[in-house]
Amino acid sequence: MKRIVHFIALLLCSLGLIPAQAAEPVRIGFSIAKTGLFAQAAPSQITAYELWANQVNAAGGLDVAGDRRPVELVWFDDESDPAKSAQIYEKLISDEKVDLLLAPWGTPHHLNVAGVVERHGFPMVGNTAASVAVREVQPGNIWFSTSAIPDRIGPELAALAKQSGVKSVAIIANVLPFAQENLQFLVPALEAEGIEIALNESYPPDISDMTGLLSQIKAAGVDGIIALSYPADSFLYMGQAREVGIDVSFEFLLVGPTISAFSQAFGDFADGIVTIGHWSPHQSKWSRAKPFFDAYVAAYEMNPDYLDTALAYMSCEILEQAVATAGLDRDKLRTAIASSTFDTINGEVSFEGVENAVTPTAFLQLQGGDMHLIWPEDIATASFSPR
């Protein structure tokens, strides 16, 4: 009887109808901010990793240069500490002997881990790092798939505002690094476009009420507001802007609108909010985009984060396609990542140095509860709609 069962299992495996679980798993390591400051943000990344791993295993395993092998994720909590993240990658490579690496969450963690992967010559595709500082990283073993880099966001956002008829803006900015880096490039870009900056205020990350700030913005009589905010203050802004009677045609929030909870909290009132992001499931030219969105919603009963989850999933797709051609040999893998063009949920991606050379810096807008790309024109899924 046992022999018959084994024969049937072998037959189904050979036909690709059930995964070849007997094969040694490909161990893929990463650190995750399970606790600490970034613990709220990190789930957007780990859900993408889990979804991808489950999909790969359900499809018979990871294609390792022709052989199918199951994927096993190996992760440790970095407690939101970039230094600890670097130690974990050291451990993953030296002690755990993982076959592949996925990226940690956030810019500081990426920058800390860059030294480790460089020292070991272990290629890793980054995802949620967004700073001009990524260009200072030694190219060769780390690549950044984002196009939301502040020195590009500034000029593009100013151009979008100008095209949207904005003549004067108020800027409020969180003092945390990503917001301030954006502010640094945004102000000259707005001035270059001839847009008046009527108010430019920064605020601390623990701000718990914005009524005063918003009252000043209202008094300034601007037609555009750019809030270089993080998720908590994006929520605060939205909750209080309507109460203060803010009524402008162009409202931009830096980080926050792409997470599922944002739409759940504000519903129709969030319509028209513009934010950073270069992926939308509505872009029909990207054949993988909508299936990914549907699979994510089915798995987690919420929308993916249009920025971080999309980036994390893209990095998995890039790694998957590189491994399919190069296998697990690090030199071949490095060459494959650096020189290939990948088909991702965000369209084609290829790298020049450490940067994504294809995906343009783009902006999203909530329209009728859906997140649409509104900039630039060649990937837009809808036109800008005034608030």
The answer to whether the beta carbons of residues 305 and 259 sit under 8 Å apart is yes
175 lies in the binding site for other proteins (CB under 8 A)? yes
State in angstroms the smallest separation of the CB of 267 from other proteins. Answer: 5
264 lies in the binding site for other proteins (CB under 8 A)? yes
The answer to whether the beta carbons of residues 224 and 248 sit under 8 Å apart is yes
Q: Please identify which residue in 187, 207, 295, 299 interacts with other proteins, judged by CB under 8 A.
A: 207
Q: Give the phi and the psi of residue 333 in degrees, each rounded to 5.
A: -65, -45
Please state whether the peptide bond connecting residue 19 to the residue before it is cis, i.e. omega within 30 degrees of 0.
Answer: no
DSSP states of 255-266:
SSTTSHHHHHHH
Q: Please identify which residue in 9, 25, 40, 271 interacts with other proteins, judged by CB under 8 A.
A: 40
Q: Please identify which residue in 42, 88, 314, 336 interacts with other proteins, judged by CB under 8 A.
A: 42
177 lies in the binding site for other proteins (CB under 8 A)? no
206 lies in the binding site for other proteins (CB under 8 A)? yes
Instruction: State the Cα–Cα distance between residues 142 and 117, nearest whole angstrom.
Output: 7
State in angstroms the smallest separation of the CB of 243 from other proteins. Answer: 5
Instruction: State the Cα–Cα distance between residues 274 and 277, nearest whole angstrom.
Output: 9
Count the site residues for other proteins by CB under 8 A. 47
Count of C-beta atoms within a 10 Å radius of residue 301: 8
Q: Which helix (H) or strand (E) holds 215?
A: helix 211-220
Mark the segment that binds other proteins (CB under 8 A) among 22-30, 188-196, 213-221, 247-255: 213-221
232 lies in the binding site for other proteins (CB under 8 A)? yes
**Residue 126's beta-bridge partner residues?**
144
State in angstroms the smallest separation of the CB of 156 from other proteins. Answer: 26
State which residue, 139 or 239, has the beta carbon closest to other proteins: 239
Q: Give the phi and the psi of residue 217 in degrees, each rounded to 5.
A: -65, -45
Q: Please give the residue ranges that form the binding site for other proteins (CB under 8 A).
A: 34-36, 39-40, 42-44, 47, 172, 175, 201-204, 206-213, 215-216, 219, 231-232, 235-236, 239-240, 242-245, 259-262, 264-267, 269, 300, 302
